Every structure is written in C-alpha cells, then in structure tokens.
A and B are shown apart, each in its own frame.
Chain A
Amino acid sequence: MNALHIAAKDLVILFRDKGVVMQLLGLPLIFILVFSGAMQTAVGGSHDTRLPLAVVDEDGGPRAQVLREGVEAAGGVRIELKAGAVAAEALDKGELARALFVPAGFSSDLDAGRQVMLRLVSRPDADVPRTEAMRMVIEGVARDMALEGQILTSLRQMGEMMATVPDAFTMLAVERGPAQAREQFELSRTRPLVTLVTRVPMRAVTVEEQASAAQLAVPSFSVLFVFLTSQATARSIYDEKKVGSFRRVLASPVSKGELLVGKMLPNVAASLIQVIVIFGFGLLVLPLLGQAPLSLGNAPFAVVLVGILIAVCSSSLGILIAALARTENQIGGLSAVILWAMGVLGGSFIPVFFLERFLGPSMRVVPHYWANSAFTDLLVRGAGLSDVMPQMVALLIFTAAFFAVGLWRFDFD
C-alpha cells in the first residue's frame, strides 16, 4: 500500500513538470510525425493504402495492359512494374512478398483463343490472406478477359457460318447461338488462365510485408521513448536523495522494497500512458493527417502485453541507472547518450529486419531489439502471441537482470 502512496505522489510530481510531459508525450509524437511523413514521401508521395503487387510484363501487348489496368481497377492493389531479373532477386532476398509474371505472347495467344499461363509467385512466408486476395482479383480479371476473347471468337465463327448457309437454316443458327455461348463459358472455367506457383526462396530471410511508415515508426519510437523514460525513475530517486526526502521516507514504516516498487510504478504508469498515446496517435491521428494508419495486426492482446513488458523493463532499467549513476550529469547526460545508443542499436531508428543484416546478432544485447522485434512480428507480419514468446521471455530476463543488479548496487543512504 505504501508503494502506491509513493507512486501516486511521484505521478503528481511527474506530470506537473511540463518539460517531462513534453519529453514523455510530445517528443515521440513529433518524431513519429516527421519520420513516418518522410518515409511515406520517400516511398511514393501521398498516402496509398493499396497493397503493392510487382508485375513482370514480358508480353508488353495490349492484353497485358488490359490485365494490369483491370487488376488496379478492381481496387485494393497497386501495380508496380518490374523487370524479371529484378523481381526474381527481390523475391529471393525477401524484399518482395509476391510478383505476377505475364509471359511473352500473352496478348496474341489470348486473341487467338489459346490457353495462356500467368504465374503469381509468392514466398511461403508471405501473408497468406493477402496473397489469396490478390490471386482472386487476378483470376477474376483474367477470367473476364478470357471469356471476352472466347465469346468474340465464337461469335466470329458463327458469323462466318451464317454467311455461307441458305436462309432455310437461319433458325438453326439462332438455336445454335446460346449453346455456343454455354460451351465458351464452360471452356473458360475448365481452362484457367492463372496458376498460382509458390516459390521457395534461396535463403530464409524474413519478408517485410511492405509495411507502412506508421507501422514502422509508431512501435519503434514507442520503444525508444519508453526506455528513455527510465531516466525519470533515476532522476526521481536522485532528487529525493538530494533533498533528503529519501532518508525521511526510509525513517518511516516503509520497507526498502516498498520504496523501490513505489519509485518504479510511476514509470510503469507513465510508460503505459506513453504507449497508449503514441499508438492512439498512429491509429487515429495519422490518417487524419493524410498518412497511412497503424494496424494492430492479428493479436492486439499480444501488443498490449509487449507494451506492458517494455514499461516494466524500462522501470527496472531506471533502478539500475539510479544505482550506478553518482551525479546528476550521469543521469541526465550519460544515461541519455547510452539510451539513445541502445535505441539505435536495437532498431528504433532503422527497422530491425534491415539493421539485422548489417549488425547481426549483436543487436540482441539490448532490450530495444527484442521489443522492436516483437512489435514488428505482431504489427507488420501479423504474428500471434505464441510467435513472440521468445521476445517476451527475453524482455523478462532483461527486466529481472536490471532489477537484480540495481538492487545489488543500490545505495539507500
């Protein structure tokens, strides 16, 4: 109970400090706004929520163009033309989730009523519902195109027949028309033009599902600023020691454990408020500003759990900083530098799936990596709670380690 009294008092003090509130809430929102805006501009200007689809057009004819336009007109898909080699390499590297290959002779074969094959190549770790949605769109457009061609062909054949028969056989030709159309419909069903091929990549690199800037910026800056909040715990402890209120509280019937928990709880609460405000900003405000909205993925509960874990881990880190830092400068300056460096190393500025290729396993020494990795899996890849268990366990280990070392080195006097 005493821990709650201490926490309540600290929260009041914390939120009376306008500078701290700016750092807790204002700064992350500014970072997200600037970062996601810049990213979005860099990847294509104004906000476009359609799923990108790479198309390798080896035909280049009018039918292939009709196909591309038809797929885009169906809505929800944005065509990006790529050369065959480029698309294949991007698929291998995991930079592309899927690509549609339009073969040479597509237009002429279609005009001639010959069967053609489109290849939708999808990586096995690509988002299945999205691949399926794209397949259905492509199949629908292709079927319409095939049907159109086949009907035109049959009408042409019938016209040729009628031109040569006597008037007495006209009725026969009229009866023959519906039957001919039914045959063509049946043919279009039994001779599908689109075949979905799943291609296994050369190496197992995680695929980034063309995440929006918001999906990258919101969680990563949440992680960065939640861990920066650990300074608030350290500073609060330092300030109490400096003015002597720490001694006064220790002289009261408050145990050392209650005192430390009481100093941690406000940071947990402030960090959770940070996460809620930042994610709320991503969900509600960014779309109003013309930017891509944030998606919470398929497991919002897991997102909440990871948010709570990073808040607790940050508070625990605050205890460690308070235990190790001897001066105000060490808390305000040195720890800030270290925390920013940890943020850079842990993927808060550059997405983990890019940075990992450069830094490799060394990223794993900072809790930021595990938090960013968990958020990336949940928000971008649509992973579930069980998928991010390793990251959550890692965050728990960091929390316990920070607290244990902090407690060991803590000077209560």
Chain B
Amino acid sequence: MTSILEVESLVKEFGDFEAVKGVTFSVEEGEVFGLLGPNGAGKTTTISMLTGILPPTAGTARIGGYDVRTQMAQAKTLNGLVPQDLALYPTLSARANLEFFGRIYGLSGRDLKQRVSDVLRIVSLTERADQPIETFSGGMKRRVNIAAGLVHQPRLLFLDEPTVGVDPQSRNHIFESVLRLNRERGMSIIYTSHYMEEVELLCSRAAIIDEGRIVALDTIKNLIGLLGGGVIHVGVERADPAILEALGALPLVKEAVRMDPPVSPPSIDDAESEARERTPVPSGAVIKIVSERSQGAVVAVIGYLNAHDIALTSLEILEPNLESVFLHLTGKKLRD
C-alpha cells in the first residue's frame, strides 16, 4: 500500500513551550488512523501543521507526495478538515454553508450543487438543508460540520474530536458516516479522540500521543496486546525489591514493577493545557503487575501478600483496552 501521509519528526514550539516534540507516523491510502491522547497532548497542533493552519517549527510531512513546508497549496487540495469546533456560520442554512466551503475549494455550478446534495444525504440532513443551522440541535450541527469537510471530496480527511458534546444517536450516525466514507469511497481518515472506544471501533491503527510525543503506534490489536492478559495495580504498605521479585515470579504474572509516585505536571500555558488527573495512589506503594490472565494472577498475588503479612491497601484490575494501554504507558488516565 502507498502512504497518503508521511510525517517525520514534526515539531511545533510556541515560544519556550514545545507542544509537539518530533512525531513520526504514516497513514496508508484508505486507512482510518487514530490519534489517541488526552486533551493537551498535541493532537490538534499536529493536525494544524498538517492542514496548513500552523507552520511546523521543524520536521516535515508529505501529503499525497506534497511537502507541507513547500507545497502546502497543493497539499490543501487533498485535505479535508473537520475541526473540533463547530466551524460554521450559524445564520446561514446548511446548504449555504456547504456551498461556501465548496466554492473556496474551487467547486461551482452543477458540480457544486451535486456535491452539496451528496454530502447532505450522507449526513441525513437533506430535509433540513435550507434552514439556518442556528435552529439545529447540537448533533445536527456536528453532522453539518462533518459535511463541510467532505464537500470537495478530499483524499485525506482530518476528523478532530468530531463527537465532542454529541448525543449517542448523533454519535452513532457520525460513526456510520465515517465507516461508509472509508469503505465506499476509499477515503483516508485521521481520527483524533480522547475516547478510546471510538478509536477502537473505527481505526485499524492508532498512535497514542501524550505531552507532544507518540508513546505507542501499532494496530489496535497489538496495542491492546501490550497489556498481555491485563494489568493489576496493587496498593501495598511496602514494596521492596525482594517483594517485587517474588511477585514477578508468581504464576500468570509476567512483570511486577513499582509505580513511581505522581509528579506534578509541568505548567502549560497554551490552549491545549488541561488538568491532568493522575492515578490515585494510596499511602505506601503501588505495584503494577502485567499478567497473562488477570483473574488468576490476582488470586496468586493476594495469596502471596497474605502469606507474607503484607497489608493490601488497594486493588485495581485494568481491562485490556486502549484506556488501560494509555494508563500502562503513561501512568495517566485519558479522561475522567
């Protein structure tokens, strides 16, 4: 397969703050690729550089063979952006909005009308097409927001957190639209989200991004496989190296490591900054146990602690999913 997007060591600095710290990844033609990370991780900044909104500080990227540093005008014709905000004109109708975004991509006349009708059908808003979008529900506005990114039939669509603040019904509709676009039109899609279940559902591969760095990149299956049979966080009153060694040697336990105490996150003064929740840690220590099968491993671990008179202060079994992978890799939760 050929790559529609190749990103290499892309960096973005805002003054002294480095928002994106040299990310490298590629997206294949026809692939739905996920960028998973918490708010403030650098997802939107990365997309802004790839869509020509922000110039990169260093590194490069090629979209359909066009270098974003030197051939952005050509690259833009291949891109479609569905931003996180409802980037629409509220007093205009859905059709007028879509016609405007079609025109600035060079569409006109019958072709423009046909494309607008087409995307209105995709997002199931044909009947409300001529009403001002300020009268629409939040979910309907989100669908128009997506349609505006599709009207010029981009080869590579950036969907930046498209389901924020959307009701479940509209969310399902958005998922269906994304899958149809990919399946029926072969559109390559970069889907950013901090909802791990969305990325699991829609994407074949994903990059996990945190604090401007990609901490893991693989197929969804392989990413989840990083956890083996599951991860257990065990709170204990003490955790010396001998205990860790003994726990690591238990049946069904692949690895036992002491988790570092939480460190206050560095101050970030741009729009991406958001409060980051750390895993609650009880007094004493927390041991992270990577298991082959979590239920069996829990029994073995508790048995060992009881036998050695080590008090158990907390116990958390993490299901094998991307949320757990993120926690496993960064020590932080994706969201509340």
Residue of B nearest to A6 (CB): B104
Contact of B101 among A12, A17, A247, A248 (CB under 8 A): A248
A249 at the interface (CB under 8 A from B): yes
A245 at the interface (CB under 8 A from B): yes
B74-92: contact bitstring with A at CB < 8 Å (1 yes, 0 no)? 0011010101111111111
Compute how far the CA of A245 lies from the CA of B103 in the bound complex, rounded to whole angstroms.
Answer: 15
B residues 75-131 near A (Cβ < 8 Å) are 76-77, 79, 81, 83-92, 96, 100-101, 103-106
A199 at the interface (CB under 8 A from B): no
CB <8 Å contact, B76 and A244: no
A residues 1-31 near B (Cβ < 8 Å) are 2, 5-6, 9, 12-13, 16-17
Compute how far the CA of A412 lies from the CA of B104 in the bound complex, rounded to whole angstroms.
Answer: 18
Point out the residues of chain B lying under 8 angstroms from A250, CB to CB.
52-53
For the residues of A in contact with B, the DSSP-based class is: helix
CB <8 Å contact, B73 and A253: yes
Point out the residues of chain B lying under 8 angstroms from A413, CB to CB.
48, 53-54
Residue of B nearest to A246 (CB): B87
A254 at the interface (CB under 8 A from B): yes
Compute how far the CA of A255 lies from the CA of B52 in the bound complex, rounded to whole angstroms.
Answer: 10
A215-252: contact bitstring with B at CB < 8 Å (1 yes, 0 no)? 00000000000000000000000000001110111111
Point out the residues of chain B lying under 8 angstroms from A412, CB to CB.
53
Compute how far the CA of A105 lies from the CA of B291 in the bound complex, rounded to whole angstroms.
Answer: 128
B residues 45-78 near A (Cβ < 8 Å) are 48, 51-54, 73, 76-77
B208 at the interface (CB under 8 A from A): no
Point out the residues of chain A lying under 8 angstroms from B52, CB to CB.
250-251
Shortest CB-to-CB span from A252 to chain B, Å, is: 5
CB <8 Å contact, B148 and A248: yes
Point out the residues of chain B lying under 8 angstroms from A16, CB to CB.
91
CB <8 Å contact, A243 and B103: no
CB <8 Å contact, B84 and A244: yes
Shortest CB-to-CB span from A129 to chain B, Å, is: 52
Contact of B51 among A5, A13, A17, A251 (CB under 8 A): A251
Given contacts A13-B92, A243-B86, A245-B87, contact A251 B103 (CB under 8 A): no
Compute how far the CA of A2 lies from the CA of B101 in the bound complex, rounded to whole angstroms.
Answer: 10
Compute how far the CA of A45 lies from the CA of B51 in the bound complex, rounded to whole angstroms.
Answer: 66
CB <8 Å contact, A251 and B77: no
Point out the residues of chain B lying under 8 angstroms from A253, CB to CB.
73, 76-77, 104-106
For the residues of B in contact with A, the DSSP-based class is: loop
How many chain B residues sit at the interface, stated as a range, is: 20 to 34
Point out the residues of chain A lying under 8 angstroms from B87, CB to CB.
243-245, 247-248
CB <8 Å contact, B76 and A251: yes
Compute how far the CA of A102 lies from the CA of B311 in the bound complex, rounded to whole angstroms.
Answer: 122
CB <8 Å contact, A252 and B53: no
Point out the residues of chain A lying under 8 angstroms from B88, CB to CB.
243, 245
Shortest CB-to-CB span from A18 to chain B, Å, is: 11
Shortest CB-to-CB span from B40 to chain A, Å, is: 16
Shortest CB-to-CB span from A341 to chain B, Å, is: 31
Point out the residues of chain B lying under 8 angstroms from A244, CB to CB.
83-87
Point out the residues of chain B lying under 8 angstroms from A254, CB to CB.
104
Shortest CB-to-CB span from A232 to chain B, Å, is: 14
CB <8 Å contact, A12 and B104: no
Contact of A247 among B48, B89, B96, B100 (CB under 8 A): B48
CB <8 Å contact, B83 and A12: no
Residue of B nearest to A258 (CB): B104
Point out the residues of chain A lying under 8 angstroms from B76, CB to CB.
251-253
CB <8 Å contact, B89 and A9: yes
Compute how far the CA of A255 lies from the CA of B77 in the bound complex, rounded to whole angstroms.
Answer: 13
Compute how far the CA of A9 lies from the CA of B148 in the bound complex, rounded to whole angstroms.
Answer: 15
CB <8 Å contact, A247 and B73: no
Shortest CB-to-CB span from B208 to chain A, Å, is: 25
CB <8 Å contact, B53 and A251: yes
20 A-B interface contacts by CB (under 8 A)? A2-B104, A5-B100, A9-B89, A9-B92, A9-B100, A13-B89, A243-B85, A243-B87, A243-B90, A244-B83, A244-B86, A247-B85, A248-B148, A248-B149, A251-B53, A251-B81, A252-B105, A253-B73, A253-B106, A413-B54
A-binding residues in B (CB < 8 A)? 48, 51-54, 73, 76-77, 79, 81, 83-92, 96, 100-101, 103-106, 148-149
